[in-house]
Chains A and B, each alone.
Chain A
Amino acid sequence: MDLAYTKKQQAFRAEIRAWLAANVPAEPLQSFDTAEGFARHRQWEAKLNEGRWGMVTWPVEFGGRGCDLIDWLVFEEEYYRARAPLRVNQNGIFLLGPTLMEYGTAEQKARILPKMACGEEVWAQGWSEPNAGSDMAAIRARADLRGDRYVINGQKIWSTRAVWADWLFGMFRTDPASERHRGLTFILVPLDTPGITVRPIPQLDGLPGFAEVFFDDVEVAVENRLGDEGAGWQVAMATAGFERGLMLRSPARFQETARRLVELYRANRASAEGDPGVRDAVIRAWLDAESYCLATYQTACRLGQGGKIGAESSTNKIFWSELDQNMHATAMSILGARAELLPHAPDAAGVGTWLDGWLFSQSGPIYAGTNEIQRNIIAERMLGMPR
């Protein structure tokens, strides 16, 4: 065990820190759930890609730097420290990207990854359906193979970023006689294909962060199938473990929130200390964010040495989503009567971005598999309890 960064890792940190200092926009960008904000975030992705910072863990030929997971964690630390814009293409770079690396053909990787890396093509996800949420194996949207094209009919819902995105990836039932996990196929769909209707759904903040997507005889070339026909479930699950979880929500994000919470507490100490529970919650927030970081480094090092990770990765999603909710709940109680005010309200001095974060934190225990589903997975696959 050696918990010091190597010289190379330190140099890498210095390099990304300097680049971000020179390039991160001085003013925060508007939300990417607005048309203008989406465009600005897309430009930022292009900028990142110019510096080859789009996805540092990707191979060099796809615009990455071939970095290991520790470098990735260092990158994220600097990224959040610099308050750089959120990643508008996170569905692509963090979720689809690693899946493509594993299951994509050479042609697919060459065609899709570079445009993903520079933000030219932004991705939405299409998993859930009105009757297939936690029970994802209940998917009914169909894709029928006719010649060299799939013809898709059905409906997806809660498709994050679908309102302005260019492509959607999802699972469709290609064998109409199949049930549950069998007969599903992973297909990539250009969102400008005729027959697609996107109906935006406003989220808690009033902005259309996700959408319903209707498919009416939508024709997609068979070259957009990822993995084998009927193997969709395995493709979706195989890379769903730690790496994806780590990339989607690396510890840096929560450590920065914990740091800001400590700052908020110190700035409002006189009023905050009226409730001793607040001090306790702030301490706990910092400890848990630190625990998440330590455990992630430990796992990343183990993976780097060829170790494997199993169902224990399901603990990660519960841990960070509840931590995020707790931290924002604590911030709301520190802000007191100001907590409900929108940041631009005339008397909202000092509220910062806490309200926005509080709203978003409500989604954490729901998306990417509800925490109840994660608890079932932990109990059954990690602890061996009966189904």
Chain B
Amino acid sequence: MDFTFTEDQLLFQSSVREFLTAEVTPARIRASWETAGGRDPALWRQLADMGLAGLTVPEEFGGLGMSELDFVLLAQECGYVALPEPLVHMAMVAVPLLRQVGGDLAATWLPRIAAGEAKVVAGLEQNLLVEDAHIADLLLLQRGDAWYALSQGQVELRHNESVDPSRRLYAVDIKSGTDPISSGDAATALTAATLDRGALGCAAQALGLAQRMVDLAVAYSCDRQQFGKPIGSFQAVKHLMANVAVRLEYARAPVHRAAYSLANNDPGAARAVSHAKLAACEAANLAAKNSIQVHGAMGYTWEVDLHIYMKKAWALANTWGDASFHKARIADAIFADGAELGAGATFAEF
């Protein structure tokens, strides 16, 4: 029993945190909002140059062969800066999907991803829209019990604006005459695994987003004076933030356990992922609610940076399975006949 990360994993996390907080500033995110595609190719180049694009690509294809567990701490850091580029999606969803599909498709695209030369984006029907479909060199789309691999020429995109200007969402219509790359049971397995990986990516980012909002609100509460003292000295304000800290503290371990479960193909992974997403997104939503309150009217402005993180947190809570979907999966597991619950059951399956 060892529920800790290795020193290497923690070291990598802190170097990525350093890079991201220096490079992915609120000002740079705001600048990207003003561009047509909403993306920052120079930033993607920097991420690729650091080798981040290919971390989960197997070594035989030029990557580092990292697992979901290796990447989960980095996904938290991407959340902390509200990174608009599709790094978490690529590393935690698209690359593992390609690995799972295998064959020529994987052999063609994985090396290009590792080299930072291609972006691959996966879309599920359940998500309604596909984030970053417009910048994908390859689109992997699920329709019913089939998966398709498509270039931009084989699809039509319809942009849908999100409350979060960093999110670029597209409805994707597949032009007729394309054959699926997978269908039937194999495709269903791809769909299930993709959903879990996407949900884990959301959960990990939600942890980072929640932490960022707490940091912003605490800093503001130390700075802003009323009645002759910092508002953070008032218990009513303190307790708003303490409540977030409690939920956040108990959301981390479920996310790490879900990453471990996915990386180890644990049969209970789906339940662990749903737990992680519910806990982390709830913490992030509470962080958003209480942080805007602590900021007062300033929090309701476009000018103050809080909304960059708040809006992303709201969006992540309802994509890759909303709360009702994930609660239903938990209910199916714990209300089943013979479900192993209670003291001693948590790690029994490992």
A residues engaging B (CB < 8 A)? 1-6, 9, 13, 70, 74, 76-78, 80-81, 251-253, 255-256, 258-259, 262, 265-266, 279-280, 283, 286-288, 290-295, 297-298, 300-302, 305, 307, 312, 315, 318-319, 372, 374-376, 378-380, 382-387
Decide yes or no whether B218 CB sits under 8 A from chain A. yes
- Closest A-chain residue to B230, C-beta based? A386
Chain B positions within 8 Å of A259 at CB level: 341-343, 345
- Closest B-chain residue to A82, C-beta based? B343
Decide yes or no whether B257 CB sits under 8 A from chain A. yes
Which residues of B from 180 to 195 have beta carbons under 8 Å from A?
A: none
In the complex the two chains form, what is the Cα distance from A300 to B330 in whole Å?
26
In the complex the two chains form, what is the Cα distance from A319 to B229 in whole Å?
30
Instruction: Give the Cβ gap from B115 to chain A, nearest Cβ, in Å.
Output: 30
Greatest chain A CB density within 10 A among B2, B218, B252, B256 is at B2
Contact flag A319-B249 (CB < 8 Å), given A1-B5, A286-B341, A298-B4:
yes
Decide yes or no whether B250 CB sits under 8 A from chain A. yes
Contact B253 A9 (CB under 8 A): no
| One of A74, A298, A375 near B242 (C-beta < 8 A) | A375
Instruction: Give the Cβ gap from B336 to chain A, nearest Cβ, in Å.
Output: 10
Contact flag A383-B245 (CB < 8 Å), given A279-B331, A376-B235:
yes
Contact B341 A258 (CB under 8 A): yes
Contact A297 B3 (CB under 8 A): yes
Which residues of B from 242 to 280 have beta carbons under 8 Å from A?
A: 242-243, 245-246, 249-254, 256-257, 260, 275, 278-279
Q: B216-250 toward A: CB 8 Å interface, digit per residue (1/0)?
A: 00100110000001101101011101110110011
A-B contact pairs, 23 of them (CB 8 A): A1-B69, A4-B347, A81-B342, A251-B343, A252-B343, A255-B341, A255-B345, A258-B341, A291-B251, A294-B253, A294-B256, A298-B3, A298-B256, A315-B250, A318-B242, A319-B246, A375-B238, A379-B239, A383-B218, A383-B242, A383-B245, A384-B218, A385-B218
In the complex the two chains form, what is the Cα distance from A265 to B335 in whole Å?
9
In the complex the two chains form, what is the Cα distance from A315 to B241 in whole Å?
12
In the complex the two chains form, what is the Cα distance from A249 to B334 in whole Å?
23
Contact A305 B4 (CB under 8 A): yes
B residues engaging A (CB < 8 A)? 1-6, 69, 214, 218, 221-222, 229-230, 232-233, 235, 237-239, 241-243, 245-246, 249-254, 256-257, 260, 275, 278-279, 327, 330-331, 334-335, 339, 341-347, 350
Contact B342 A255 (CB under 8 A): yes
Chain B positions within 8 Å of A1 at CB level: 2-6, 69, 256, 260
In the complex the two chains form, what is the Cα distance from A279 to B335 in whole Å?
10
Chain B positions within 8 Å of A5 at CB level: 1, 347, 350
In the complex the two chains form, what is the Cα distance from A376 to B345 in whole Å?
34
Chain A positions within 8 Å of B222 at CB level: 384-386
- 19 additional A-B pairs beyond A1-B3, A1-B260, beta carbons within 8 Å, are A3-B3, A3-B347, A5-B347, A287-B278, A291-B250, A294-B253, A295-B250, A297-B1, A302-B3, A302-B4, A315-B249, A318-B242, A375-B238, A378-B242, A379-B238, A379-B245, A384-B222, A385-B222, A385-B233
Greatest chain A CB density within 10 A among B4, B5, B222 is at B4
Contact flag A3-B252 (CB < 8 Å), given A256-B342, A378-B246, A386-B222:
no
Instruction: Give the Cβ gap from B125 to chain A, nearest Cβ, in Å.
Output: 25
Contact A3 B238 (CB under 8 A): no
In the complex the two chains form, what is the Cα distance from A266 to B5 in whole Å?
38
Instruction: Give the Cβ gap from B273 to chain A, nearest Cβ, in Å.
Output: 13
Chain A positions within 8 Å of B334 at CB level: 262, 283, 286
Contact A318 B346 (CB under 8 A): no
Greatest chain A CB density within 10 A among B250, B257, B327, B331 is at B250
Contact B253 A295 (CB under 8 A): yes
Contact A386 B250 (CB under 8 A): no
Contact B246 A315 (CB under 8 A): yes
Chain B positions within 8 Å of A315 at CB level: 245-246, 249-250
Contact flag A70-B254 (CB < 8 Å), given A81-B342, A255-B343, A385-B221:
no
Tell me the number of A-to-B contacts counted with CB atoms below 8 Å.
171
Contact A292 B250 (CB under 8 A): yes
In the complex the two chains form, what is the Cα distance from A315 to B214 in whole Å?
15
Contact B346 A376 (CB under 8 A): no
Contact B343 A76 (CB under 8 A): yes
Contact A294 B342 (CB under 8 A): no
Chain B positions within 8 Å of A251 at CB level: 343
Instruction: Give the Cβ gap from B19 to chain A, nearest Cβ, in Å.
Output: 24
- Closest B-chain residue to A9, C-beta based? B1
Instruction: Give the Cβ gap from B221 to chain A, nearest Cβ, in Å.
Output: 6
Contact B331 A312 (CB under 8 A): no
Instruction: Give the Cβ gap from B101 to chain A, nearest Cβ, in Å.
Output: 27
Chain A positions within 8 Å of B344 at CB level: 13, 74, 77-78, 81, 252
| One of B221, B250, B331 near A319 (C-beta < 8 A) | B250
- Closest A-chain residue to B251, C-beta based? A291
- Closest A-chain residue to B245, C-beta based? A378
Chain A positions within 8 Å of B341 at CB level: 255, 258-259, 262, 286
Instruction: Give the Cβ gap from B255 to chain A, nearest Cβ, in Å.
Output: 9
In the complex the two chains form, what is the Cα distance from A141 to B50 in whole Å?
64
Chain B positions within 8 Å of A81 at CB level: 342-344
Contact A385 B232 (CB under 8 A): yes
Contact B343 A290 (CB under 8 A): no
Instruction: Give the Cβ gap from A158 to chain B, nearest Cβ, in Å.
Output: 23
| One of A76, A256, A288 near B250 (C-beta < 8 A) | A288
In the complex the two chains form, what is the Cα distance from A290 to B347 in whole Å?
10
In the complex the two chains form, what is the Cα distance from A105 to B55 in whole Å?
54
- Closest A-chain residue to B255, C-beta based? A294
Instruction: Give the Cβ gap from A360 to chain B, nearest Cβ, in Å.
Output: 18
Instruction: Give the Cβ gap from A263 to chain B, nearest Cβ, in Å.
Output: 9
- Closest A-chain residue to B327, C-beta based? A283
Greatest chain B CB density within 10 A among A292, A374, A375 is at A375
- Closest B-chain residue to A291, C-beta based? B250
Contact B343 A3 (CB under 8 A): no
Instruction: Give the Cβ gap from A225 to chain B, nearest Cβ, in Å.
Output: 35
Chain B positions within 8 Å of A301 at CB level: 1-4
Chain B positions within 8 Å of A291 at CB level: 250-251, 253-254, 275, 279
In the complex the two chains form, what is the Cα distance from A80 to B345 in whole Å?
12
In the complex the two chains form, what is the Cα distance from A294 to B342 in whole Å?
13
Contact B342 A258 (CB under 8 A): yes
Contact B343 A287 (CB under 8 A): no
In the complex the two chains form, what is the Cα distance from A279 to B6 in whole Å?
39
In the complex the two chains form, what is the Cα distance from A70 to B3 in whole Å?
11
Contact flag A77-B350 (CB < 8 Å), given A287-B279, A294-B254:
no
